[in-house]
Amino acid sequence: FSSPPQVYFTLTLLCQANGYRSFNGTRSAWVTVAFLSILLSFILVSNKKIYILGFLIFIITGSVIFTTVPNFNNRLKSIIYFSDRSISERFICWNGTIDMISDNPIIGIGIGRYREVYKDKYKPDDAKLTLHHSHNNFLQILAEMGIVGFIPYLIMNIYFIYYKIKG
């Protein structure tokens, strides 16, 4: 980033986009909003007293929301406790996806075929749900496109991050 306003604008957009998503119960958005809010305030606030005050307000506001709204409270608990069925299903799914990648490492199974192939061949016996995707972009791309598709994806992401930071 070439200037503080550019940093502020970019991080604000990310926070807002994920903030809107957080109201539908998306746990990854909540974690992202929290992380970006803390990062944004750390970058932009040079006065430590103001930073600490803002951080405390953020924690108190978040605590009030998550403890008084039942849906938020239950979803937050599912981030922390791996006994939640949604979280355990993801770990089970990832194991099946890793097997899929091992069997098709070079070119993968084909774009858009994850659900069908997972359900027919790689869904572990202890999985209760048939997930539509792997809930992990890296595993999903490796499974569907293999190393041939994953390397350009990785290079593109590294390139974007590097040049965004470099300015």
Q: List pLDDT tens digits, range 8-18.
A: 556 565 555 55
The pTM of this model reads 0.56
- What share of the chain has pLDDT > 90, as a percent? 20
Amino acid at 150: F
Greater confidence, 101 or 91? 101
* Residue 1 confidence class, pLDDT cut points 50, 70, 90: very low
Which pLDDT score is estimated for 134? 83
Which pair of tokens denotes residue 56? 């405390």
| Amino acid type, 61 | T
Cα–Cα distances in angstroms (integers) from residue 147 to residues 7, 134, 136, 139, 159, in the given order: 33, 17, 16, 11, 18
Q: What is the pLDDT of residues 45-91, one digit of tens each?
A: 667 777 677 777 777 777 776 677 666 666 666 666 666 666 778 88
Tokens of 134: 């792997």
Most confident region among 1-10, 28-37, 147-156 by mean pLDDT: 147-156
